[in-house]
Amino acid sequence: MNELKAHDFHGKKVVDSRDVAQMVDRPHNDLMKSIRQYVKYLNEGEISQVDFFIESTYTASNGQEQPNFLITKKGCDMVANKMNGKKGVLFTAAYVSAFEEMRQTLTTPPVPKRIPDVSPSGLAKLITVTRQVMLDMGNSPVEIGAMTKSVLETWGIPVPVAFSQQIPGQLCLFENSALGEGRGASA
């Protein structure tokens, strides 16, 4: 028997009726007849068929569009309950496993990126070296403060809002200052 795989179809977990037919060693056309009968009974009972079976199509190897059903877990339960013996047991095990795997995929939270452990002195060295490089490149104290703030926040260290803002009246050698000197101007 082949492995059954569930996939997402507009928020519903489903399997393809062709895969189910192959899994239970039954001609797809025969399974389609049975599903159509189930759908008829569901409609007569005023039960929504899309909770069980969703009509669909696929393109066959000859290029023609053919009907199939996307079967939900409830639909698989219905198909399995009509089967007995070895094939019924194997199909039930396969679809329960496929839907459980899909559920786990959808509910398992992503693993957050782990930032490596670093000592406070290592972090201070990183900031010091980066600061010096930025100064050598002509960055302003405000830009260096923003970089420092970003590094600290990356490592989860709280930083006051005003940390990277220039203090009123502070002389800045790199930006337009009160003296009217431009960036990189010599005194």
Are the CB atoms for 41 and 132 separated by under 8 Å?
A: no
**pLDDT (tens digit per residue) in 143-175:** 888 888 888 888 778 777 666 555 666 555 444
**pLDDT (tens digit per residue) in 47-72:** 889 988 999 999 999 999 999 999 99
Report the distance separating Cα 69 and Cα 9, nearest Å.
12
**pLDDT (tens digit per residue) in 75-103:** 888 888 777 666 766 777 777 778 778 77
Q: Distance of CA 144 to CAs 17, 129, 141, 164, Å?
A: 61, 11, 5, 8
pLDDT of residue 30: 94
**pLDDT (tens digit per residue) in 7-33:** 889 888 899 999 999 988 899 999 999
pTM beyond 0.85: the answer is no
Helix (H, G, I), strand (E, B) or coil at 105: helix
